[in-house]
Structure 1
């Protein structure tokens, strides 16, 4: 009898003590994802490490917002190159400050064709639909409606401003053996307008730019297709060069080859590459990086200026 009473008392003391232990730990232990140290850690990371940090979970993504804002303030950053395709989400990323190749997972790029790159945004096409995508923050903005062409072939595009700007205008130029066709859409619009130009222009379009209400689609520094928003007239023109400390300049072959060597890809001629515009500060000329379009290739490449664009989930075109 005595033994039974002792066992009963010991059992309840043990349970009581254990419950106090659980209660005390529940009160003093915090979720490790909410550590106040996380923003300080993020601020000290390089860009590649910051990308991996942000991918851990939603809380770490939020904790890195200050570090991301600091990236936005970096001027004159050289472009990064993103290689993707092969029907999987694994992408190869090469940066301007490292000789290493980085593999990152971006499922949003599956099945897409990159038509334009500017302001840190990519303009992507997939199954008749177009959307803006920031490869670093994974922000996405859809353009409403269906693009007039269901298949992308000889298309080059440019947009006038970031898609979050009220001034954003998208221009997509396509070419056949007998004519050019330019499709344009303004932010807030739900349909495309088109303009045609009969021409036997035999050249490829390697550069695209927008400046002060005009679109420029340029062939290798000599000829271009020109469209002015006020005149609403698509024209073929020659390029005239003038000395200026501002405006646009072409990226040199040496600059391009240096980063392609870092990729160590067997044959870059088998990759369809989207060029970009590099925005430069302090009165320097913006730099145009060449397009190399061949839509028959499955492998896609895109030059882009590294930017973190953090937008609301409700952000729309």
Structure 2
């Protein structure tokens, strides 16, 4: 209870904001109060923030810059929870309307102009790597932070492309790698380092995977997997060499391995159920990697069924991206 007002755990956010606005107006109308108070110093803020889930907390932060700043610590604490299942962003319509599907709060409609006409190629630590009209950029869907990459990208159209990056785009160690298969069955990989102004090209022409379903970065290298055929392509960031290999699964706890695992069939089915799409709707989904402190990090698969509005049989195709809920900030002059 604060100043005679009791907020329960389930109190709606809009009611809380209405009470705050009413109390603030009352104070401002007093004759002895000639100046307005800083909203960050309202005595109820700590009590409110502690009771909000992440969705309501994001709405709370959108009220004004001061409330955004006042709730920063609370958001950071929620985002630091390990083993959190990824959220899904469904996009790709004719406007900026998107559907945000959280782990426990259901589906929410949000409007993100940056997603209009874009295709997500990679997702890691809350950052999406997006391609639109020949250009590529990093984007945080929860904060709106954006960082443009140098262009143009070597390909003018995107089809079955899969990407991965080694670190957040604000890090000097960030390297981006984008792979695709050509009509001649050659695997092409384009890379760009943080601070570079142009992409470099690398090719692998023999026995390349039929379809890349997973992508990950680990210990100075990029991994691209097709777990149906157990094929793997590896790129050393330091040596810039592409190599083809086979996935060997652990047989005992003593086996040496990288701390990554494929999503199980039951996990894939649970994720599809969370999307709640109608039967017959095809989805082109960008995968991600979920950090797990208790076990190997889980790789969430890509599902590339096409990137156009409809496939060859006239079925609707929806684009989506799995991502970890993070609220990244960048300065106005942040550049690649």
**TM-score between the two structures when normalised by the length of structure 1:** 0.85
Which residue of 1 is the match for residue 124 of structure 2? 118
Q: Is the 8 A contact 2:215 2:223 kept in 1?
A: yes
Task: Name the structure 2 match of 1:287.
Answer: 298
Give the structure 1 partner of residue 266 of structure 2: 254
1:188-207 counterparts in 2 under 5 A? 188-199=195-206, 201=208, 203-207=210-214
Q: Counterpart in 1 of 2:248? A: 240
Alpha-carbon shift at residue 230 of structure 1 (Å): 3.4
Matches within 5 A, 1:1-317: 24=31, 27=34, 29-30=36-37, 35-98=42-105, 100-178=106-184, 179-199=186-206, 201=208, 203-221=210-228, 222-242=230-250, 243=252, 247-267=259-279, 270-282=282-294, 284-293=295-304, 294-297=306-309, 299-317=318-336
Indicate the structure with greater helix content. 1
- Secondary structure at 1:257 match in 2: helix
Question: In the TM superposition, what is the alpha-carbon distance from 1:209 to its structure 2 partner?
Answer: 1.0
Q: Which is higher, the Rg of structure 1 or of structure 2?
A: 1
In structure 2, what is the Cα distance between the partners aligned to 1:44 and 1:246? Answer: 39
In the TM superposition, residue 129 of structure 1 has moved relative to its aligned partner by 1.2
Equivalent residue pairs, number: 295
Structure 2: gaps (5+ residues): 1-27, 310-316
- SS of the aligned residue for 2:103 comes to coil
Q: Is 1:116–1:156's contact at 8 Å kept on the other side of the alignment?
A: yes
Residues 120 and 312 of structure 1, relative CA distance in 2, 3 Å threshold: same
Query: Deviation digits for residues 26-76 of structure 1, max 9, x if unmatched?
Result: 605547676353354233210111122222333332222122221232111
Alpha-carbon distance between aligned partners in 1 of 2:125 and 2:216, rounded to the nearest angstrom: 12
CA contact (8 A) 1:157 1:170 kept: yes
Q: Aligned equivalents of 1:62 and 1:106: distance in 2? A: 22
Question: Which deviates more, 63-72 or 79-88?
Answer: 63-72
Moved more, 108-117 or 293-302: 293-302
CA RMSD, aligned part only? 2.4
Deviations 1:119-143 (A, max 9, x none): 1111111111111111122221111
